[in-house]
Amino acid sequence: MDIQTCYCRNPNCVNYGRATSQASLRPFGTHRHAPRLQCSQCGHLVWARSGTAYAGIRTPEATYRLGAKLLAEGLAIRATGRILEVDKDTVGQWVPHLGRHSWRVMAYFFRNLHITECQLDELWTFVRKKENRLDPVEQMLGIYGDAWTWIAFAPACKLVVAWVVGKRTLTEAKQLIKRLKTSLNGHIPFFTSDELPHYADALLDQYGEVYQPPKRPGRGRPPLPYKIPPADLLYAVVVKHREQGRVVEVTTEVVYGAPARIAEVLNDSPTSNVISTYGVERNNLSIRQHSRRMGRKVNAFSKDREYLKHQLALAFAYYHFVIPHRGLRQRLEQPQPTNGPKGSPKKWIERTPAMAAGLTDHIWTMDELLSFRVPPKSMW
């Protein structure tokens, strides 16, 4: 574990947030077999694991790291415990630690992103019980039953820019677009989705411009202001027509923006020249493969919505920073030898979604993900 990224965690200290290489942090023994440092200014003790996913974990780092990888690859908690010969309750306690750390890492990197296209979709799963088996009290509480994961996906770099877990209502749609907007640099991407009407309302809520209609002559109250879509808000939907549960026809409709402007954007698109949601729908399969709780017709469904969020956060961080994406690899101009003249030459440069988005410069290991120390939010 790199202690050069440790920083004084005392907000009242002049060295607050400054890494060891920039501040005066000197070694001060060990704690739970990990180095401990002391700030020369305020005397605050800093544990080397503080701010990482290893903080508060008593399991050996190698076992914990392998367990995190197994969970991120889609194994259930019980299966992970059997492989590592660790109690399932211990593995279950790891999930919140891993989820919170993964969320902090993504929140730190997903800032001021510039994306030109964004595809929106939602995945279904359930928590504890399916919706039709809930009693009236459980239906009123709204914490069990159907759980939808709302996704905002950038097809050019395969990045899941924002996601929300909740019911399939307008409230969650607004949360998704709001979270997406805070991660972007102000540029409005070209949006596509299915025919769910909540997306149009949520986009108008976040990006719409307030319009005040002129007052009519005569008596009466003035008309109330309302929001209208700006000229640079482009949004189209893919409509799937079904008969007896099967898709028989697919059409597209423009909701916001001029069709000619959308045609220009599609002509310059590096991914697709037609209105589609193929990228986010293919990514949904990856999500189900890397999250056991999202699998169809399995008995590893979530019993608690918060655990579902934590597991998804781990799966998304693993997907963004650790796993190379085949669709993002780049061909080398000259193949490079690998194992001498008899070895197969290397023809491709593997890249992760984070590399394609310019967030990182190499493929992370699982240890790099778990030991990444997010600076204080005031230093972002």
pLDDT values of the chain reduced to their tens digit, one per residue, 380 residues: 667 778 888 888 887 877 765 567 777 777 767 788 888 778 788 878 888 999 888 899 999 999 999 999 988 899 999 999 999 999 999 999 999 999 999 999 999 999 999 999 999 999 888 888 888 888 777 778 889 999 999 999 999 999 999 999 999 999 999 999 999 999 999 999 999 999 999 999 999 999 999 988 888 888 899 999 999 999 999 999 999 889 899 999 999 999 999 999 999 988 888 999 999 999 999 888 888 788 777 777 888 889 999 999 999 999 999 999 999 999 988 888 877 667 788 888 999 999 999 999 999 999 999 999 888 887 77
Which residues have a Cβ under 8 Å from the Cβ of 284 and sit 6 or more positions away?
121, 123, 151
pLDDT of the residue at 20: 65
Closest residue by Cα to residue 354 from 379, 309, 324, 375: 324
d(CA 170, CA 164): 12
Closest residue by Cα to residue 86 from 65, 56, 55: 65
Closest residue by Cα to residue 266 from 252, 285, 248: 252
DSSP 8-class letter at 170: H
pLDDT of the residue at 323: 94
Q: For the whole model, what pTM was predicted?
A: 0.89
pLDDT of the residue at 22: 58
d(CA 130, CA 157): 35
pLDDT of the residue at 346: 85
DSSP 8-class letter at 11: T
Q: Which two tokens stand for residue 187?
A: 């540029």
Residue 313 pairs in a beta bridge with: none
